[in-house]
Structure 1
Amino acid sequence: MVVCAALLTAAAVVTLYRVEKGPSMLDRVVALDVLVSTLIGCLALVSLWFGREDLVLVLMVLALVGFVGAVTLARFAASEPEEERRILTEAEAAAAEAAELEDEESMGEDSR
């Protein structure tokens, strides 16, 4: 039981690193799906340790929610253009916002 708990903890830590670093949105979606699976494993371990059969329903619901969420996020991530599949850094977001403002100003001057 201790070995299983240690392995699940290590899997959760590695998965959280992948959620944080990315690099693409699809990588993050897969990592979140793995994190839900790790949570299901932890809950199954707790259920086994304490002999609680009532947690099996919670495991099934969590598995269903995790599956539906992963499929939904993967569908939306797959339909995004390639350049929008990652989260921008602060510098990239500021540069994109400045470019949009510049375009709006130039459009305003053209209409006068």
Structure 2
Amino acid sequence: MILIDVGLAALGAVFVMVVVRVVRGPTAADRLVASDLGFFVFISMTALVGARVGSEWVFDIVLVAALVGFIATVWLARMVGRSRTSRREEPWEPRSE
């Protein structure tokens, strides 16, 4: 039980850092990665609370949430990749004299 409490405290500290990165992130990609990490930290905290309480149905919810989070991560990564390639300019070429 003590290890679960220590894990919850550590994940809580990580979650605070994630919130700071979401608020202060210089780019949208930084905010996206931080929010994705925050989602998985929240799932981890939920799993630890389920282990602490001894509830078996929480793990089904955690499994489904992890799968949905993975699919959302792949989809958002593709969207960020597409937006970067659509805004890409032609490479700079020096003038020939």
| TM-score of the pair, normalised by structure 1 | 0.68
Alignment map for 1:63-74 (pairs within 5 Å)? 63-74=66-77
- Matched residue count: 83
Q: Is it true that 1:29 corresponds to 2:32 in the alignment? A: yes
CA distance, structure 2, for counterparts of residue 81 and residue 33 of structure 1:
19
> Per the alignment, in what secondary structure is the counterpart of residue 55 of structure 2?
coil
CA deviation after TM superposition for structure 1 residue 32, in Å: 1.4
CA distance, structure 2, for counterparts of residue 78 and residue 16 of structure 1:
24
Percent identity among equivalent residues? 36
| Paired position in structure 2 for 1:11 | 14
Q: Is it true that 1:53 corresponds to 2:56 in the alignment? A: yes
Task: Between the two structures, name the one with larger relative contact order (CA 8 Å, sep ≥ 6).
Answer: 1
CA distance, structure 1, for counterparts of residue 39 and residue 30 of structure 2:
14
CA RMSD, 1 decimal: 1.6
| Paired position in structure 1 for 2:44 | 41
| TM-score of the pair, normalised by structure 2 | 0.77
CA deviation after TM superposition for structure 1 residue 41, in Å: 1.0
CA deviation after TM superposition for structure 1 residue 5, in Å: 1.3
CA deviation after TM superposition for structure 1 residue 57, in Å: 0.9
Could you tell me which amino acid in structure 1 is paired with residue 50 of structure 2?
A: S
CA distance, structure 2, for counterparts of residue 74 and residue 81 of structure 1:
11
Unaligned regions of 5+ residues in structure 2, if any? 88-97
Could you tell me which amino acid in structure 1 is paired with residue 32 of structure 2?
A: V
Q: Is it true that 1:2 corresponds to 2:31 in the alignment? A: no
Unaligned regions of 5+ residues in structure 1, if any? 85-112
CA distance, structure 2, for counterparts of residue 27 and residue 61 of structure 1:
25
| Paired position in structure 2 for 1:90 | none
CA deviation after TM superposition for structure 1 residue 23, in Å: 1.3
Q: Is it true that 1:20 corresponds to 2:23 in the alignment? A: yes
